[in-house]
């Protein structure tokens, strides 16, 4: 958190007394600054909301009214867990201008790369929009297509993630292969399966997901030559036909506590291999998502969306 106004890179809340406060079940922060200095700092700042789905966390910026220029360097600065806010992805909400989407969601991984899909981010953005609306569902535009989302009776968010793709050109892959058996192995991981969910996923089935050294195998497989845009990597243990245990290495991020598109890819890959039903709970490091491969081949992802805090980004972060 900020130590002085000159070094502050993001701030949580401004009170009229000139006191900065933030409290939750886990921590409480109080920093006293001169009110004039705080006011001047916030004049050149950008609001953000920090949200997460089972610990897969996002800094969400609202550019629906005012366009926002953001590049890879700025994303990396915001995502830095030591000098920025810290997150797996930065999400920019833009105006949905096609007459179909309520909002357009741009997705940037922590390394600054822009990607087309993120299931947990879709849950968070949907939750944010639904909390400020009387509508029972929202439509989110992404580079990977439209995503219909609604709140469940349990208070979670269900998102239609569209259809998985298996053609090598659509995933995309560098050459024509059988996506169900592309011939990829690395150490203890053998016979991976490839699924496209608007982003590429390489799924391996293992006897014990906990024992896989994903921190060393993940970065090597992310950059496998078959994937011109790199890939996400999942290791999946079949606990039962209706329950999977999954760990994930996300491209451009590393190991994360949850990945919505990864959970969808794991269920689809397991079903294609005859290892799981078309509906299953997928247990990640952060918690269990529910994935259902519907009769029309659309994939329904259901999970939580939680707010952590809101604040202001210092202008220097956006010009990093």
Active-site residue, from 124, 193, 259, 264: 259
- Summarised one tens digit per residue, pLDDT across range 156-209 is 999 999 999 999 999 999 999 999 999 999 999 999 999 999 999 999 999 999
Q: Which pLDDT score, from 0 to 100, does residue 193 have?
A: 98
Q: In sequence order, which residues have a C-beta less than 8 Å from that of residue 7 and are 6 or more positions away?
A: none
Cα distance between residue 209 and residue 317, in whole Å: 37
Predicted confidence (pLDDT) per residue in 230-258, tens digit: 999 999 999 999 999 999 999 999 999 99
Q: How far apart are CA 38 and CA 35, in angstroms?
A: 5
The pLDDT profile of the chain, 320 residues, written as one tens digit per residue, is 433 333 445 555 433 333 333 433 333 344 444 544 444 444 568 999 999 999 999 999 999 999 888 999 999 999 999 999 999 999 999 999 778 999 999 999 999 999 999 999 999 999 999 999 888 999 999 999 999 999 999 999 999 999 999 999 999 999 999 999 999 999 999 999 999 999 999 999 999 999 999 999 999 999 999 999 999 999 999 999 999 999 999 999 999 999 999 999 999 999 999 999 999 999 999 999 999 999 999 999 999 999 999 999 988 888 76
Decide: 52 and 308 in contact? Cβ < 8 Å. yes
**CA–CA distance from 70 to each of 67, 95, 284 (Å)?**
10, 16, 31
Question: Is there a contact between 262 and 283 (Cβ–Cβ < 8 Å)?
Answer: no
DSSP string, 170-212: TTT-SS---TTS----BTTB-S-EEEESSSEEEEEEES-GGGS
Fold of the CATH domain 162-301: Diaminopimelate Epimerase; Chain A, domain 1 (3.10.310)
Enumerate the domain spans of the chain. Answer: 1-43, 49-156+306-318, 162-301
Nearest to residue 179, comparing CAs of 89, 265, 292, 254? 265
Question: Catalytic pick from 118, 123, 124, 264?
Answer: 118
Nearest CA among 311, 256, 304 for reference residue 109: 256
**Regarding the domain with residue range 49-156+306-318, which homologous superfamily does it belong to in the CATH classification?**
Diaminopimelate Epimerase; Chain A, domain 1 (3.10.310.10)
Which residues is 238 bridged to in the sheet? Answer: 244
Residue 264: active-site member: no
**Two domains, one topology: 49-156+306-318 and 162-301:** yes
| Catalytic site includes residue 124 | no
What is the model's pLDDT at position 217? Answer: 98
């Amino acid at each position: 958190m900020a130590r002085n106004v000159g070094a502050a890179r993001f701030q949580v809340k401004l009170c009229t007394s000139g006191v900065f406060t933030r409290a939750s079940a886990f921590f409480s922060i109080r920093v006293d600054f001169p009110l004039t200095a705080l006011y001047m700092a916030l004049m050149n700042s950008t609001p953000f909301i920090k949200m997460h789905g089972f610990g897969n966390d996002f800094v969400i910026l609202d550019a629906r009214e005012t366009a926002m220029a953001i590049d890879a360097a700025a994303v990396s600065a915001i995502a830095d867990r030591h000098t920025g806010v810290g997150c797996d992805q930065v999400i920019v909400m833009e105006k949905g201008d096609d007459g179909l989407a309520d909002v357009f969601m741009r997705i940037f991984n922590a390394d600054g790369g822009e990607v087309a899909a993120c299931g947990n981010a879709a849950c968070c953005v949907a939750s944010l929009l639904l909390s400020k609306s009387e509508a029972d569902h929202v439509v989110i535009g992404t580079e990977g297509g439209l995503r219909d989302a609604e709140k469940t009776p349990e208070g979670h968010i269900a998102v239609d993630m569209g259809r998985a793709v298996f053609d090598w050109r659509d995933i995309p892959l560098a050459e024509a292969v059988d996506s169900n058996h592309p011939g990829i192995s690395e150490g203890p991981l053998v016979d991976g399966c490839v699924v496209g969910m608007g982003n590429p996923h390489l799924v391996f089935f293992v006897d014990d997901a906990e024992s896989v050294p994903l921190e060393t195998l993940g970065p090597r497989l992310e950059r496998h030559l078959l994937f011109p845009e790199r890939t996400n990597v999942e290791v999946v243990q079949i606990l039962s036909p209706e329950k999977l245990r999954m760990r994930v290495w996300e491209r451009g991020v590393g190991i994360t506590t949850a990945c919505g598109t990864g959970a969808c890819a794991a269920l689809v890959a397991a079903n294609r291999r005859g290892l799981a039903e078309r509906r299953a709970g997928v247990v990640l490091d952060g918690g269990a998502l529910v994935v259902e491969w519907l009769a029309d081949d659309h994939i329904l992802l259901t999970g939580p969306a939680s707010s952590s805090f809101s604040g202001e980004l210092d202008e220097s972060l956006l010009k990093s």
